[in-house]
Structure 1
């Protein structure tokens, strides 16, 4: 086995545990088996011989591995070879489908967010929508990757999703598939030469796309930006290396994130280049919400701890674990949780998330109604927060989120538009920064900005 692609995996890759029932028949030898592997092999033989339908040994092996890995925590899993290829394809930013990020929630595939400018986004699919059937076939209890395969297909063909939104009756959404090319960075110049950059996920090309976006914004602003809004809302994460590189575009030297595993030999600290900041003197706001996870939280936490940016919005998701992709020759790969990550000050984001410096909730009419999006601490088998690396560095960043710091996420189609109240608050903050002696909501997020 070979370790490769050390990365964080966003909430879109959280797969629920498979439930395996092991029935004991008369052919099982009396007394305890010599090894646990002997028990597994014996049960597999029993199933292959006596189950009502034929089952291949490879199918049983795959399912056994899936059950074993997915019972560990919400982010560990086994991927068959086709599933592994699809996972790499997703993060490379090009695949055929309808443009949805989904995860398993209580046995149902649930939308994390639609991808901008795709059939799903144009059809009005929203975060929290539960997909109860695909082309009339129920998805309840189905493997998430099987659901993904059913939704994907040849461009210009149609797939029908049946969706449940909150407590309302199911409704059908027909979608025409297309080649989905994901550009993870979008930008525009706002009034008063304030730049706006949105990162929708942390793929391999994200750091380069970000540098190009900043270069264009500076040129459009006549060579200098008066401020920058970095929007990480609804961003489920991606590559750890991309999160480090993106942070390094705003920091000159110093720690971005550190990871601590079971073995001290795996402990690492990732630092920004000594002269890597592209906008060293430009005021910044980072926007986050409950659907900002993993790599998004690494960036927000680094810029918050290093006092490089003001974090605004609502409490983030709280995924503070690192997954290693371990390939198995001829058999796909494991996605295995091997470490927890910590912000520059030594705090763990696991379970707690990032509490904004200034809490700005999306107005009710901009929120996803009856949202089913949950935070890390609500996932089955999620780790508890281990506490800070140095006990003396316990900060006032909040725990688990409170009613004042959490709220349903903003509707995807409103992000970055003139109707986006959270963005408006960020722009107002950059246009009118607080006076040196004025009082503002601090890192505890105890007060919400009026809108």
Structure 2
């Protein structure tokens, strides 16, 4: 079966993409009789010897539909029942497959355009609860401090218990300018958190960049239709800003839940001069494919660091895995999410679409990261109490299995820069609290910049970023105590912690 569909690699849809199924009564004959008289049923009946179990189960399905229509406490439309049954059939396969009715599919297409109303947070259903996959850069959710793994339990004081994901998302949506208060349960927080924010029209800016001395920084928040074009333009701008003397690059894929396969391939191609980028293998051999680099490296072999964390998933992991396998970049951070599957978006004419897992993908070394994730080359935690675990693919129910065997292990690297052994795995106790508006407080970014500077033979600095004065950072914390800023060459720096999970593993 040849699939002619878009290939997706995201962990979840944007909040607001899906809404509840439309309620529309459809009068008609017994659905049990309709099934037994359908063309599909007749085809099965004609070959009953080979399809007896299928025929029996279809009959059971029709019988249950008739029972619910007749006996449920309130009238339910046939369309609602069928939509729910279809969704259950597909979503029960794995966490990333789903059925979208026509209305849901249209809303998804609108929001993929990159402009929509809401909070700017990607959510996913997990065991009946609404879990945050990732806030989107520059949105109310990001500015308010929502984090991957947060569970949203209430909206404006009203519980979401018993609601579908569609219903919960609908409650979070509203007119731009209106306020909303979410109740959040967060790991290691003793009490639920109340977070108030203002809804707005969300413009998704998937790429942003900064120049820190001679080192470029590019942040990719997701992979949409124009990600590679925007990333390439950002790099050209950084190079021009550096007077053509850019010394290295930090590529930030943290909290990037994925997106389109072709964009992950195109971004990887911009940094890998030759060889395989990724391959996918599915049930049907004719759909198996391999993509190779086309001999272009827009940086002309500059040193690269890629930042990853537990929110780096799918398309992000393809890019990180390709650059790691080719020894083209050093990965800094904590283990990635571990989504090694590919979804196809298959339209059902006049009736929405099916988002179906159709393949696993493999990095250039032949490893599958499904349920395992990608281990960084240098472990750097966001905070001292960050265990680097969080929610990942392996925590979701009924995930597809990893069939990579020993090939799922990360290749051993012997080419890391000497500074790797002096990079601390966690910030010191008095490191300032992370503030998204103050890059100097981003410990993982600071260490990534240190690594790039060392690889580029640039002189070390206290910390590479142009940062606010230490007393200004400290005053924001309500104290005059200055944070400890230790030069890279300080002898007290300890090697990064290594754990059993530092092999290939949200």
TM-score above 0.5 = yes
The 1:342/1:33 distance shift into structure 2, 3 A limit, reads closer
Query: Which residues of 2 match residues 68-107 of structure 1 at below 5 A?
Result: 68-107=89-128
The 1:333/1:383 distance shift into structure 2, 3 A limit, reads same
Query: Which residues of 2 match residues 29-178 of structure 1 at below 5 A?
Result: 34-166=55-187, 167-178=189-200
Contact 2:91/2:99 (<8 A) preserved: yes
State the match for 1:306 in structure 2.
326
Decide which moves more: 80-89 or 229-238: 80-89
TM-score normalised by structure 1 residue count: 0.83
State the match for 1:8 in structure 2.
9
1:412, CA displacement in angstroms? 7.9
1:429 paired with 2:446, answer: no
The number of equivalent residue pairs is: 416
**Equivalent of 2:381, from 361, 364, 370?**
361
Contact 2:274/2:292 (<8 A) preserved: yes
Contact 2:278/2:364 (<8 A) preserved: yes
State the match for 1:227 in structure 2.
248
Deviations 1:100-127 (A, max 9, x none): 1222233211222322222222333333
The 1:34/1:210 distance shift into structure 2, 3 A limit, reads closer
**Equivalent of 2:397, from 364, 380, 395?**
380
The 3-state SS of whatever aligns with 1:364 is coil
The 1:204/1:445 distance shift into structure 2, 3 A limit, reads farther
1:413, CA displacement in angstroms? 4.4
1:245, CA displacement in angstroms? 0.9
CA distance in 2, matches of 1:314, 1:53: 50
State the match for 2:366 in structure 1.
346
Contact 1:441/1:447 (<8 A) preserved: no
**Equivalent of 1:280, from 300, 325, 328?**
300
The 1:415/1:107 distance shift into structure 2, 3 A limit, reads farther
The 1:446/1:150 distance shift into structure 2, 3 A limit, reads closer
The 3-state SS of whatever aligns with 1:418 is helix
CA distance in 2, matches of 1:2, 1:446: 36
The 3-state SS of whatever aligns with 2:181 is strand
CA distance in 2, matches of 1:128, 1:209: 29
State the match for 2:419 in structure 1.
none
CA distance in 1, matches of 2:360, 2:54: 36
1:77, CA displacement in angstroms? 0.9
Deviations 1:69-94 (A, max 9, x none): 11111111111222223333343321
1:215, CA displacement in angstroms? 0.7
Contact 1:97/1:151 (<8 A) preserved: yes
CA distance in 2, matches of 1:443, 1:397: 14
CA distance in 2, matches of 1:346, 1:220: 38
CA distance in 2, matches of 1:393, 1:78: 30
Q: Which residues of structure 2 form unaligned runs of 5+?
A: 18-31, 34-51, 414-423, 427-431, 458-494
**Equivalent of 2:233, from 198, 208, 212?**
212
CA distance in 2, matches of 1:434, 1:224: 11
1:208, CA displacement in angstroms? 1.1
CA distance in 2, matches of 1:371, 1:159: 30
Contact 1:357/1:444 (<8 A) preserved: no
**Equivalent of 1:185, from 207, 216, 220?**
207
State the match for 1:293 in structure 2.
313
CA distance in 2, matches of 1:371, 1:106: 22
State the match for 1:329 in structure 2.
349
TM-score normalised by structure 2 residue count: 0.75
Q: Which runs of 4+ in 1 moved over 6 A?
A: 440-448
The 3-state SS of whatever aligns with 1:432 is helix
The 3-state SS of whatever aligns with 1:334 is strand
Deviations 1:184-226 (A, max 9, x none): 11100012x1000111111111111101100110000001310
Q: Which residues of structure 1 form unaligned runs of 5+?
A: 16-27, 399-404
1:197 paired with 2:218, answer: yes
Deviations 1:118-166 (A, max 9, x none): 2222333333321112234322242223222221222223333222233
Contact 1:250/1:278 (<8 A) preserved: yes
CA distance in 2, matches of 1:319, 1:380: 13
Higher Cα Rg: structure 1 or 2?
Answer: 2
State the match for 1:23 in structure 2.
none
State the match for 2:285 in structure 1.
264
CA distance in 1, matches of 2:232, 2:498: 29
Decide which moves more: 116-125 or 261-270: 116-125
Contact 2:253/2:308 (<8 A) preserved: yes
CA distance in 2, matches of 1:231, 1:81: 36
